Structure 1
């Protein structure tokens, strides 16, 4: 029987993505990842695998979430691409 996760995997991945953004891959240590995601070491490894796999999943999450926004910003009748991104991020 599969063990049910007791945390939101998508939210943990979003937080991990921010750790990579802030520190860059070389400095986004496992300690920083556990702190940034709020996950324990075993949860981090069992959910995302090693650091390379974790980075790949973070990049995929980034592309899924932001690539369509960039396309919209560049192709739509908006005043500027930055206005679309500012609207999306609540600024």
Structure 2
């Protein structure tokens, strides 16, 4: 019987995304990512692959979360587009 995942597969990439934001790709080591995402090393590799693959998944999540906000901010007649983005999803 396979082990059940002991973490939220949607929350972990969100948390890893914040590690990448805070530190940048080059400083976001596997140790820092596992700590920030709340994962063990084997869970990170087994679920998300290597650091580059996890980074790609974080970029996809970022685009899914924020792309429409940027489109909204840049397409409308708003006095302050950054306020639209700051309001968040």
Which structure has the highest helix share of the two?
1
Cα deviation, residue 7, structure 1? 1.6
The TM-score with structure 1 as length reference comes to 0.86
Alignment size in residue pairs: 89
> 1:69 — aligned with what?
69
SS of 2:10's equivalent in the other structure is helix
Q: Deviations over 1:21-58 (max 9, x none)?
A: 11111110000001100111111111110111111111
Gaps of 5+ in 2: none
Gaps of 5+ in 1: none
Question: Is residue 46 from structure 1 mapped to residue 46 from structure 2 by the alignment?
Answer: yes
Cα deviation, residue 79, structure 1? 3.0
> 1:79 — aligned with what?
79
* Distance (Å, rounded) in 1 between the aligned partners of 2:53 and 2:73: 30
Q: Give the 3 Å change call, closer, same or farther, for CA 2–76 of structure 1 in structure 2.
A: farther
* Distance (Å, rounded) in 2 between the aligned partners of 1:72 and 1:7: 33
* Distance (Å, rounded) in 1 between the aligned partners of 2:70 and 2:78: 12
Is the Cα contact below 8 Å between 2:20 and 2:28 reproduced in 1?
yes
Q: Deviations over 1:1-36 (max 9, x none)?
A: 664322211110001111111111111000000110
